[in-house]
Structure 1
Amino acid sequence: MHYEPHWIELKKRERLFKWLFFLYLPVLGGVMFVMFIFVKLMTDYFFFSCAIIWIAGIVAAGLRCLAWKCPRCAHPFFRLLRPFAKRCSTCGLWKWSLKADVGKYAPLKR
């Protein structure tokens, strides 16, 4: 079994999270600039509502990455306290493995 389509899906989820995370300040700064300079309207409610919506998007994208299922065992690949794990927390599949390791199914020791 090839895992490449599964890893592509994980890469898309991680990319969305990174874009939302790193564009937070530039986008909100641009919104503030446009509202203040061009429209002459700067309300705290608008800024805070945009910030809260953006942060909710970051949290949702992060949780979507954490909920991604391992292609081999179909359990969550990541644990809540280990979002950058290199191996599946249940079956031990290495991240970005392209094929099933026949005969090497070794669960992690706890």
Structure 2
Amino acid sequence: MRKVILMASITKIFEHGSKPGTFRFKNLTPKKDAEADNVVLGKEFQAEGLDSEQHKVLFTYDAVKDEVTETRLQLEASEDQRDSYYYKIEGDYLVLTMSWKGVTCKHFYKRQ
């Protein structure tokens, strides 16, 4: 069971991008890493996901909710298969919220 839990662990990193006004986003796992550099909020881009498929990815910021939304769609998938992930800072934690078919999951990432 411990190996299953370790394989499910994901490290999320948001940091300044290599160009001004951009950021770098990393998903680090024991099996595969995915990274995108020079991401601009509100501008869609194409990147490889953890599933090794190409995705259309969009990050947006909602100032009212103080929340970042990441939407992903595999290039071959239909629009109704778009996934959304919501990120919010709560104290020392980055909280990732995702829902699917009425089930909501929250991941808490401790700030380092």
Greater share of helix residues, 1 or 2?
Answer: 1
Structure scoring higher RCO (CA < 8 A, sep ≥ 6) equals: 1
Fold shared, TM-score > 0.5 on shorter chain: no
Could you say which TM-score interval applies, normalised by the shorter chain? Answer: under 0.3
Give the alignment's TM-score, normalised by structure 1: 0.26
Larger-gyration structure (1/2): 1
Greater share of strand residues, 1 or 2?
Answer: 2
